[in-house]
Structure 1
Amino acid sequence: MTTAVVPSSPLPSLEDRHMYYILTDDFPYGSKLFQAGSMCFLKEKTYLHSIACVGTSTQYLRVTMLDDNSIVTVKAEILHPLPEEEAVFLLAINTLSERLNCFLDRHSLEEAVKATVGQQVTVDLNQQLFTGTIRYIGKISKNSSSSPHSPSYFGVELQGGGEGRGHCDGTYNGSEYFKCKQNHGLFLPVNKIKFIPVLDCDSMKEEPQPDVDEIVPVKVGDTVGFYLDEVFRQGVAMDVHKEGTQWFVKVCPEEEGTTDVFREIPMDSVVKEGLLSSEFEPDMAPGSLRQIKRERSESGEDLESGKHSLDVNSVVQITLDKGNSVTGIIRWLGYLPNIKHRMAGVELDQEKGITDGEWQGMRYFHCPPKRGLFVKLQSCQPDMRFQSVSITPLDASTSGEIDGPQVLANSPLENGAAVQVLQGRMRGIQGHCNSCYMDAALFSLFSCTSVLDSMLFKPSLPPSGHVQKILRDEIVNPLRRNGFVAASSVMHLREQLTEKGQCSSFTTSEKDPEEFLNLIMHHILGIEPLLKLQSGGQKEQECYYYQIFIDKQEDLVVPNVQQLVEHSFLSSSLKLVEIPSCFIIQMPRFGKEYKMFSKIIPSLELDITDLLLDSPRECFVCGDIATQECSECFRDAVFADMGMKQYCNSCCRQVHSHYRRKTHRPTTLHVPEAFQVRSQMGSPRIPRERMELFAVLCIETSHYVSFVKYGPEKENWMFFDSMADRHGDENGYNIPIVKLCPEVAKYLQLPGAALAMEQPRDMEGVAKRLFCDAYMYMYQSKKMSLYK
């Protein structure tokens, strides 16, 4: 096997030597913000000169940032010096937070500097660990020879279960750095590698290592059989150690689970799994191997069915001793050294574990001490608290209808709980293969509101019940409890929609949120339409969302949602037949690309009082019961730019006595009988019907994102993007992000004229996307959702 190493080069002169630093804290500089983890350098000669001028170490250093080559003056106290041999490895890590974490983990960097070609390592591929061998260490860019700041990578040849999971044969950008089979090679940054220490050859010579397989027949991870209280049991060897001249095995019995309840068994009293045979079974009473096998088969532990749905971030329960169980979240899946079963690293809800994510000195995930547990994946069961209660299947011949499953659903997240559960990287719903339209819609509808939870509870007949179960158990409940939904769960739903919707492209192609909502609400689940509309006394129309259609209005430069809805309803002579529990409104556009308005102001409350059919309304002038409505007055520039124009009889005569409005033709309003009586007794106060905004879907260059209102304060906004970042290339995965965006409140408080003058590129944070890219607004009536 041909290998390569970094060619040696003459030592640079003082003029050419650089000093490298990493920022340990965020540092604002003008309009820029250099985040912790950013790296910079300055020439050693410049540094020595600055010290000579001041006499002591200066408080500020003028450095060159490696991200954009800008020259910046930075506080010395947040600059940590780096040896060049460490700096080149850190430069290969693109994500600043991961780079900083790697820097803080001194052991990993020190191992990288000492690493040699031919050394064994484990590599992190899609949250699974595989073994490999280092074949190359160094720079891989085409111009690496001319750039002193090029990052260094590890060229690794994958072995064992990782074979065929690589991306190359040792060649990168046409240059060969080492040789291996196609798709067996990878070039990786230091944070994706775990180094297996190289044994000291001298110490091996002084103290020859015994052949463990000959002297010690059982190794850590082996499944063994043993007798305990005269009952034959099975378990996993967690440790093998010697006390004096006798070997002992620390065993975790399978029925007790991998906890701090271990059994110390003498080596000569255990039998390795490979040596167990049917000869043991005839002599064993209850609790025998045969009984254990039957119980495990009945419990489904040996079956693969049902396990495929468990993934990283799945909520699981594990049975421990005496039937007790613990719950937790899967943080890692893969294979541990010398263990043939697929294992799960679980972070428990309570301190009943034995680790903080390490196994035999190797870290596989992070969690608090005594909260981590490594168990066979087949020992994990979905947390029954978040599964539908099983019901006995009914024969169609004996029952005309099937009751829907009872569901213990999680409550929507609000206020501090929403921040704690949802905020961060790898939070929200993970995007995959053009799924952003569905990711953004589901996050908007279910993360912080229960207005459409009827979709999860509604009794359903097969096959729609299967879709409902996926939506409830694989998406909504995990989102509300863990703050994360894996791409596989959404793909499972998309596959079902493809089948039910007779659309072969639902799993691959871009779609629109309204297409998805109409399919799942109407064609799949068959829930009652959200809106009932009537136009000009015609027959009622039912729909699930409302598309705004209006002509270009010269006076509407930066409109708010209230204005757009009122203009649209008036132009189409529409009325709401009843108060909706959920009002989904699609903004006006000329096609997907062209926006009718450069900005739209979110109306945090939508007043629908005057949009309701046959509902009592208030006179626009005096506040008495309105009896007449005038659509032409609505467009009159003399009046307010929003609010429907209706009058009592007296005010209507007075308003239309003006010569400019004598040609108007007001229409008569229906006044409920109870309000006619109250009107004769005095001026009754008309109740206002308002709906509150809970989410906004936005689109920019065919990519959908979501803004969600998670609390009552104006600053309580969070932003969700299912594909905000990515790990790896075509074999990698998307990283969803949920982050708070309180800056939205600043722009909501601006007058319309001031907001119109704001340049989108200058708007803080992600506010520009909310105001400039709004596609669909979602409003709720918590009062009506109690009845629907």
Structure 2
Amino acid sequence: MTTAFLPTSPLPSQGDRNAYYILTGDYPYGSKHFEAGNMCFLSERSFRKYISGERSLSVFWRVTMVEDNSLITINSEVLQPLNDELVVFLLAVNNPRERLNCFLERHGLDAAVTARPGQQVMVDLDQHLFPGIIRYVGKIVSGSSSSVLAPFYFGVELQGDCEGKGRTNGTYNDREFFKCKPNSGLFLPFNKIQFIPALGGEAMKQEVKPEAAALVPVKVGDVVGFYLDDVFTQGIVMAVYKERNDWIVKVCSEEEGATDVFREIPMDSVVKEGLLSPAPETDGDPGFHKLTKRERSESGENLEGSQVTLDVNSVVQISLDKGNSVTGTIRWVGYLPKTEYKTAGVELDGEMGITDGEWQGVRYFQCPPKRGLFVKLKSCQPDMRFLAEGYPPLYPSPLSVQKSPPVVGNFPPLRDGTAVRVLKGPMKGIQGHCNSCYMDAALFSLFSCTSVLDSMLFKPALPPDGAVQKILRDEIVNPLRRNGFVAASSVMHLRHQLTEKGQCSSFATSEKDPEEFLNLIMHHILGIEPLLTLQSGGHKEQECYCYQIFMDKQEDLVVPNVQQLVEHSFISSDLKLVEIPSCFILQMPRFGKEYKMFSKIIPSLELDITDLLLDSPRECFVCGAVATQECSACFRDKKFADTGLKQYCDSCCKQAHSHYQRRAHKPSKLHIPEEFRDQTCSASLRIPREKLELFAVLCIETSHYVSFVKYGPEKEDWMFFDSMADRHGDENGFNIPMVTLCPEVARYLELPVAALAMEQPRDMKGVAKRLFCDAYMYMYQSKKMALYK
């Protein structure tokens, strides 16, 4: 049941005397339509009336829209309060949808509030990032009226090779806000900036002054070399400053693969690119730590072999007799009784072992029966599917593919230009291995560009299940959001844990359905609340995590959209949503991997669930007044519109059913919320629409899952992910995941239905055919409800 709530807000500031709010949903008002993300305010006097006294229970407030200074009456359910320090930064974001995303995700907004002049940042220009320094924070124009706050912008001076790519020398409208070289400055809203976290001791650091620049051998943007843990490494200079009497260089290591991980290195320990000597010779890849002879012997390596240290969770292959070999994951390393050599307890990928992790009555690790094996550590070799000779230099080093180190912290989802920079390209996304595509595609869809299910990562878990949550967060989601890449070994680690928790011996080797994986990890392991609560025909409520669309074949639906399919399915099953879901996962009407009911399905970028909600106010689809009756038979009447449930006010219901073809219909009474009962005859009252936003689509073709993800607000902002897009090597090779942009999707979304129906799949450009023809699962979100769940 949807319930009205009263937004709370801090008291208006003394200087402004207004209370500000942001719309979390679209709101029609007369001939106007205010998008979610628009902002409004009301005076201190009105504010106090609404939160106290006789009007404290009022759902409708009289506010002023910042967009055009118009006065409207708005349902307070769509409002979220803002304080002044957030308002000034949000006002600088022109696109309402993007503004709402910034408010809901908060990471960039919180960083903007605390940012100060002199701070290093990365500037987003045409989907490329450039280093810069904040020189000014504040307003550059007066407010739109005396009662509205003025937006705050960041004045940034571009650094290094980016000098000259700006648009100003620090002046705006003939007023100087800071000084820099011509065309080296920019005034930007906060959403076009990536704020670099300040490291310790900032107060002791002195930025390089122009007159001292000539004395410093390196500058921002230079490529330098240095030693990191005895490994020769290269990186990009992000800042140069003096700390007490020493010059320090802040470097983003190319090995780290992210712009928010930095090393502070003394100036005399770095060498500029042009002066770099050839990399020191080693027995293998120069990026590997050179082990001592004893270390290499202990880890199972000979002097001529690969220099990869094997440890718990390493993925390995073991040679057996007659040239046979098996693969598995090391679960224990140590010395067994009466043995002088280091032993590995390995969980095999198949039932070719002799134990379940027990040796002579003592348990060393846990695995399914006949999947465990104890062998000499030196008999184990890195699994060549993850570590191959001649690894292409374009890709991450073999060491990182063999075993991805955990990434601890809280990393926001990737959006807009940042998503493109971090995720686009080969060896990006999640690496597929051994029928893992169902899991790879689902995880990429749920976590790469949205935070709607981040509760799975941080909800307190019971001790037995904490390991699963930790793997999901630190070995998969965080590396994906920080580096744009997750090695197959990390997903295999999760699959082994799910095999144990789910009591299904094939989770680590066999192909599954995405919904089977999601139900297992959400319900049985992490125990998060069901995403959906449904009621059928007034019977007991049912809870679930995914909704399967069931419906009879509709001859008139040649190329349906998702909105139509959901409405038909709900009508057929007499279903209603008990509450607005924060995440709505829909399975399309198809059975198995071969049969699908429709050859094409049009993605609905927004899913309107207003009329699918139980006991929610509804609008008469004829006159717009508050609806009192619903008719499921009219929904199938071809004389009416092909979308939208058919509900009426009393007078329109009587008139519609006076037609001889509809006299046998049996409309059902609707529940009307208390605050709407006096408005049933009024067409001037606008019923707020509840809409969900599409953020990802899983597709399947010939038993292989891929995914499409919406990474930004524009129609062209789509990316396509395939965890097994390419392969390096043959049987002993490895899969190469790939993320590509697919703006061509927008072209087909804009086609008329008749034209789309005539499009031959083989002629559709790029990967668009897979989105329209192979859809398996659609994922929608309500960021407004994610605030409360």
Partner of 1:523: 524
Partner SS state of residue 463, structure 2: coil
Q: 1:727 to 1:757 in 2, by over 3 A?
A: same
Instruction: Supply the distance in 1 between the matched residues of 2:727 and 2:674 (Cα, whole angstroms).
Output: 62
Tell me the TM-score normalised to structure 1 length.
0.52
Tell me the TM-score normalised to structure 2 length.
0.52
Partner SS state of residue 722, structure 2: strand
Matched, 1:664 2:691: no
1:334 to partner: Cα distance: 4.5
Partner of 2:687: 686
Instruction: Supply the distance in 2 between the matched residues of 1:375 and 1:436 (Cα, whole angstroms).
Output: 23
Partner SS state of residue 725, structure 1: strand
Instruction: Supply the distance in 2 between the matched residues of 1:557 and 1:471 (Cα, whole angstroms).
Output: 40
1:677 to partner: Cα distance: 2.7
CA offset digits 1:612-650 (Å, max 9, x no partner): 000000001000000000000000010011100000000
Partner of 1:354: none
Partner SS state of residue 765, structure 1: coil
Partner of 2:195: none
CA offset digits 1:561-589 (Å, max 9, x no partner): 00000000000000000000000000001
Partner amino acid for 2:745? Answer: V
CA offset digits 1:516-537 (Å, max 9, x no partner): 0000000010000000000000
Identity across the alignment (%): 75
Partner of 2:503: 502
Instruction: Supply the distance in 1 between the matched residues of 2:599 and 2:227 (Cα, whole angstroms).
Output: 66
1:590 to partner: Cα distance: 3.2
1:317 to partner: Cα distance: 8.1
Partner of 1:478: 479
Q: Is the 8 A contact 1:318 1:381 kept in 2?
A: no
CA offset digits 1:69-109 (Å, max 9, x no partner): xxxxxxxxxxxxxxxxxxxxxxxxxxxxxxxxxxxxxxxxx
Partner of 2:787: 786
Q: 1:546 to 1:465 in 2, by over 3 A?
A: same
1:746 to partner: Cα distance: 0.8
Q: Is the 8 A contact 2:400 2:487 kept in 1?
A: no
CA offset digits 1:113-161 (Å, max 9, x no partner): xxxxxxxxxxxxxxxxxxxxxxxxxxxxxxxxxxxxxxxxxxxxxxxxx
Q: Is the 8 A contact 2:624 2:683 kept in 1?
A: no
1:463 to partner: Cα distance: 1.4
Partner SS state of residue 729, structure 1: coil
Q: Is the 8 A contact 1:258 1:373 kept in 2?
A: no
1:316 to partner: Cα distance: 12
Partner amino acid for 1:512? Answer: D
Partner SS state of residue 463, structure 1: helix
CA offset digits 1:523-565 (Å, max 9, x no partner): 0100000000000000000000000000000101110000000
Runs of 4+ in 1 over 3 A off after TM superposition: 252-260, 311-322, 331-345, 363-367, 372-377, 380-383, 678-683
Q: Is the 8 A contact 1:256 1:320 kept in 2?
A: no
1:257 to partner: Cα distance: 7.8
Partner of 1:206: none
CA offset digits 1:201-230 (Å, max 9, x no partner): xxxxxxxxxxxxxxxxxxxxxxxxxxxxxx
Instruction: Supply the distance in 2 between the matched residues of 1:716 and 1:376 (Cα, whole angstroms).
Output: 30
Matched, 1:740 2:724: no
Partner of 1:653: 654
Greater RCO, 1 or 2 (C-alpha within 8 Å, sep 6+): 2
Instruction: Supply the distance in 1 between the matched residues of 2:638 and 2:584 (Cα, whole angstroms).
Output: 29
CA offset digits 1:490-516 (Å, max 9, x no partner): 000000000000000001101000000
Q: Is the 8 A contact 2:426 2:736 kept in 1?
A: yes
CA offset digits 1:251-296 (Å, max 9, x no partner): x999898689xxxxxxxxxxxxxxxxxxxxxxxxxxxxxxxxxxxx
Larger Rg over CA atoms? 1
Q: 1:625 to 1:486 in 2, by over 3 A?
A: same
1:591 to partner: Cα distance: 2.9
Instruction: Supply the distance in 1 between the matched residues of 2:269 and 2:460 (Cα, whole angstroms).
Output: 31
- Matches for 1:321-720 after TM superposition, within 5 Å: 334=288, 386-387=407-408, 408-679=409-680, 683-720=684-721
CA offset digits 1:716-775 (Å, max 9, x no partner): 110000001100111110000100011111111111111111000010010110000000
Q: Is the 8 A contact 2:580 2:785 kept in 1?
A: yes
- Matches for 1:42-191 after TM superposition, within 5 Å: none
Instruction: Supply the distance in 2 between the matched residues of 1:526 and 1:420 (Cα, whole angstroms).
Output: 34
Instruction: Supply the distance in 1 between the matched residues of 2:721 and 2:686 (Cα, whole angstroms).
Output: 41
Q: 1:753 to 1:313 in 2, by over 3 A?
A: same
Q: 1:679 to 1:747 in 2, by over 3 A?
A: same
1:462 to partner: Cα distance: 1.5
Partner amino acid for 1:546? Answer: Y
1:344 to partner: Cα distance: 8.8
CA offset digits 1:647-666 (Å, max 9, x no partner): 00000000000001011000
Q: Is the 8 A contact 1:629 1:647 kept in 2?
A: yes
Q: Is the 8 A contact 1:256 1:321 kept in 2?
A: no
Partner SS state of residue 637, structure 1: coil
Instruction: Supply the distance in 1 between the matched residues of 2:442 and 2:706 (Cα, whole angstroms).
Output: 9
Partner of 2:724: 723
Partner amino acid for 2:484? Answer: G
Instruction: Supply the distance in 1 between the matched residues of 2:650 and 2:291 (Cα, whole angstroms).
Output: 86
Q: 1:650 to 1:662 in 2, by over 3 A?
A: same
Q: Is the 8 A contact 2:532 2:544 kept in 1?
A: yes
Unaligned runs of 5+ in 1: 1-251, 261-310, 346-362, 388-407
Partner SS state of residue 452, structure 1: coil
Q: Is the 8 A contact 1:432 1:734 kept in 2?
A: yes
1:366 to partner: Cα distance: 6.5
Partner of 1:751: 752
Q: Is the 8 A contact 1:332 1:364 kept in 2?
A: no
Instruction: Supply the distance in 2 between the matched residues of 1:732 and 1:376 (Cα, whole angstroms).
Output: 16
Q: 1:758 to 1:468 in 2, by over 3 A?
A: same
Aligned residues: 441
Partner amino acid for 1:675? Answer: F
Q: 1:702 to 1:682 in 2, by over 3 A?
A: closer
Partner of 1:768: 769
Partner amino acid for 2:737? Answer: P
Cα RMSD of the aligned pairs, angstroms, is 3.7
Partner amino acid for 1:450? Answer: S
Q: Is the 8 A contact 2:431 2:487 kept in 1?
A: yes
1:780 to partner: Cα distance: 0.3
Instruction: Supply the distance in 2 between the matched residues of 1:481 and 1:321 (Cα, whole angstroms).
Output: 22
Instruction: Supply the distance in 1 between the matched residues of 2:545 and 2:397 (Cα, whole angstroms).
Output: 46
Instruction: Supply the distance in 2 between the matched residues of 1:479 and 1:550 (Cα, whole angstroms).
Output: 37
1:684 to partner: Cα distance: 1.4
Q: 1:314 to 1:460 in 2, by over 3 A?
A: farther
1:681 to partner: Cα distance: 7.0
Q: 1:659 to 1:643 in 2, by over 3 A?
A: same
Unaligned runs of 5+ in 2: 1-225, 235-254, 271-284, 297-305, 310-389
Q: Is the 8 A contact 1:562 1:642 kept in 2?
A: yes
Instruction: Supply the distance in 1 between the matched residues of 2:770 and 2:391 (Cα, whole angstroms).
Output: 37
Partner of 2:778: 777
1:592 to partner: Cα distance: 2.5
Partner amino acid for 1:604? Answer: L
Q: Is the 8 A contact 2:498 2:507 kept in 1?
A: yes
Partner SS state of residue 534, structure 2: strand
Q: Is the 8 A contact 1:692 1:780 kept in 2?
A: yes
Q: Is the 8 A contact 2:610 2:691 kept in 1?
A: yes
Partner SS state of residue 569, structure 2: helix
Partner SS state of residue 778, structure 1: strand
CA offset digits 1:405-434 (Å, max 9, x no partner): xxx311101111111000000000000000
Partner of 1:8: none
